[in-house]
Each structure stands twice: as structure tokens, then as C-alpha cells.
A and B are shown apart, each in its own frame.
Chain A
Amino acid sequence: MADLVTHIGLAFLVKGLTRKPHTASFVLGNVLPDLGGRAIGMGLTLLVHQGAPVPEDLIFGFGVLHLPLGILALCGLLALPFRRDLRRSVFLNLLGGCFLHLALDLLQRHTGTGYPLLFPFTTWHWELGLIGSEATVPVSVPLLLAGAGLWWRRVGRSVDDQRSDEAGRVLGADEQG
């Protein structure tokens, strides 16, 4: 996995370049595979080394949240509590974010392993192996600053203005009322 800051920076960069809405879902999608598929397992492993009786199935089972078919189900599940008219867009942005995450991770090289992309149908695993597993570290902070800056210039500022307008309208209506 590339580092989380790089994933977040890339998400903002894509939304800034495309000027599309649903940034929050897209950014969340970009971190979901690591939060669900890695962070939980790592936390449980730490507990095991502290002596806690955590079943191995639980530690490794969360790994499916870093695989395409697990991601698909997770995004579907997370989109369900959203307002009906937003659900489809949120689902697609979560999914798009997750697949951008996977695409970046697939560039990496790990000793003897890859990502079992078609699990549970096959355990065949693959990765491009173009960059080392820490290659994104030096570019992560500049990428985040560039991505967030571009997004703010092209998308965020207009959202903020829109919110100010809405607040002004509500205030005006209150004053009239």
C-alpha cells in the first residue's frame, strides 16, 4: 500500500482537475481499503502481541476490504444510509476512490507477493512492480498540498461561496419573517 497521505492528495488532485462534486465520498473511497483492509488487522495484530486472545480469522479476514470484490460490497453497504437521491453518486464516488487506491498500490513491488485481485474465484496475485513500497513517501506532502490547493481553487471555494449564499438567504428570510 502507498501511504495514506499520498492517497488523499491524489484524490483531491483528481477532484480538482475534473471539477466534479462528491469530493468527500471520493476521498473516503481513497482511504477505505487501507482503513478497513489494513489498519484494523494491524491493530488486532498489536493486541495479539500484547497477549489478547484475538482469533486469526479476524486478523486476516479484514484483508478482503483491500480486494476488488470486498471493496464493491463495502461501498454498497456504506452508500445505503445516504439520502436516496445521493446514494448512487456516493456509491460511485466511493468505488472510484477505492479503485484509484488499488491502481496506485498495484504500481508497487513486494517481495514474492502481489494483490489477489480476483479473490475469491482464484488466489492468483499480481502487481506491476514499478515502484518500491515506500516510493511515494517523499512526494506525499507536496502532492497533498498541490492536490488540496488545486481542489480549493477550482472546487472548494465555490462550495464555500454557495454555502455563504445559502446562509445569507436563510438569514434574510429570518429577518423578513
Chain B
Amino acid sequence: MSIDRELLRWPLALVLSGWLVFMGQDYAETIHQRTSWIEDCKEAARGCADRKVFLALVEVVELREDAYVARKATLDHLIYGDSSELRPGETISVIARFDPEQGVLVEEWLEHHPWREAKEALGFAGLGLSVLVLLVGFRRGPQGLEERA
């Protein structure tokens, strides 16, 4: 008895989808573990003396006189440091350390990303181009999807 190879597409799709869901859950857990220690240290900074936090490409969401709040995905981090040259909405990268005396995050190194807004605009333009490629480059044929070029 021969099996129609076309029918094997469905179990294969199921296996690949399952693999992606498994990987996605595992990855989300890994990210959670990678960030949860920062929250733990905020609660008890003395136990985390001089541990460093690397925050790449975070958004400045609030400015204070001697500190600023940087947002990484769903988490906000209050960082003590010079806020005079920052503006809300700006993207920065920061290395901060836990100060055991004050129990807070203190900025050690900061990088501005002045081209970030231009990059975001290019991202939207790229999204539009991608949709165009999808619409122009593919079509539905009688035996499945087809490519035009």
C-alpha cells in the first residue's frame, strides 16, 4: 500500500508547529530567568553588590534630576546617573551596577543611539516593501502557491 506523499504534509506541519511552540516556550522561560535576577536584586541590592546589568537598546521613558527610567520590553529600570543629556523616547544602551550602599542601579557606561529613529522609519518602509513582495511575488495556483519570479 502506497501513501500519498502529499498527505504527509499535514503531520509534518504539525511536527514543525509543535517544535516552534516548544522552542518558543523554552526561549520565553530563558529570557524570564535572564531578567528575573535583576528584579530580585532590586528587592535586596546588598546581596548583589557590584553585579552588572547590561541593557542594550532600551528606551528612556522618564527623567529625574539624578536618575532616569529605562524600559526594556515590559520591564522598567530606575538607573541613577546623569540625565541632563537624555530625552524621553530616546534609545540608549547602558551598563549599570548594583550599589550595595544605596541599594540601587548606578550607571557605569552609556551609549546614545542617535540613528535609532531613522532605523525605525526604515523598519516601517521595509515592512511595506515586504508586503509588496508578498503581493507581487506570489500567487495562488490550482496545485498550491506559486512564485512569479
B is bound to A: yes
A binding-site residues for B, Cβ under 8 Å: 3-8, 21-25, 27-28, 31, 34-35, 39, 41, 45, 48-49, 56-65, 67, 69-70, 73-74, 76-77, 80-84, 86, 90, 110-113, 116, 119-120, 123, 133-134, 137-138, 140, 155-156, 159
CB proximity of B70 to chain A, nearest CB, Å? 12
A70 to B43, CA, bound (A): 35
B143 an interface residue at 8 Å Cβ cutoff?
Answer: yes
Contact (Cβ within 8 A) B126 A83: no
Which B residues lie within 8 Å of A59 (CB)? 28, 73-74
A67 contacts across to B, CB distance below 8 A: 23, 27
CA distance A4 to B23 in the complex (A): 25
Which residue of B has the minimal Cβ distance to A3?
B122
Instruction: Return chain B residues, CB-CB under 8 Å to A159.
Output: 148-149
A77 touches B115 (CB 8 A): no
Asked if B45 is at the interface (CB within 8 A of a chain A CB), the reply is no
Q: Which B residues are CB-close (under 8 A) to A49?
A: 74
- Within 8 Å by CB of A23, from B12, B56, B137, lies B137
Secondary structure class of chain B's binding surface, majority of residues: helix
Chain A residues with Cβ under 8 A from B57's Cβ?
110-111, 133
Contact residues in B for A111 (Cβ distance below 8 Å)? 54-57, 93-95, 111
B126 touches A61 (CB 8 A): no
User: Which listed residue (A8, A23, A57, A74) contacts B126, Cβ 8 A?
Assistant: A8
Answer whether A27 and B137 are a contact pair too, CB < 8 Å, given A4-B126, A84-B6: yes
* Contact (Cβ within 8 A) B115 A137: yes
Task: Indicate whether A25 sits within 8 Å of B147 (C-beta atoms), given known contacts A8-B129, A83-B141, A113-B54.
Answer: yes
A83 in contact with B143 (CB, 8 Å):
yes
Check B113 for interface membership: any CB of A closer than 8 A: yes
Partner of A76, one of B12, B23, B54, B148: B12
Known: A4-B125, A35-B127. A61 touches B12 (CB 8 A): no
- Given known A-B contacts A4-B122, A110-B93, A24 and B147 have beta carbons under 8 A apart: yes
Residues on A with C-beta less than 8 A from B95 are 111-112
Task: Verify A77–B17 contact, CB threshold 8 A.
Answer: yes
Residues A76 and B74 in contact in the complex (CB < 8 Å), given A119-B23, A159-B148? no
Contact of B127 among A4, A21, A25, A110 (CB under 8 A): A4
Chain B residues contacting A35 (CB-CB under 8 Å) are 127, 130
Q: Is B118 an interface residue (CB 8 A)?
A: yes
Question: Of A61, A112, A137, which one neighbours B118 at CB under 8 angstroms?
Answer: A137
**B31 CB contacts on chain A under 8 angstroms:** 60, 63
Q: What would be 16 A-B contacts, judged by CB atoms less than 8 Å apart?
A: A3-B122, A24-B133, A27-B137, A28-B133, A28-B134, A41-B73, A45-B73, A49-B74, A59-B73, A62-B24, A67-B23, A76-B12, A77-B13, A82-B147, A119-B23, A134-B118
Q: Are B126 and A7 in contact (CB under 8 A)?
A: yes
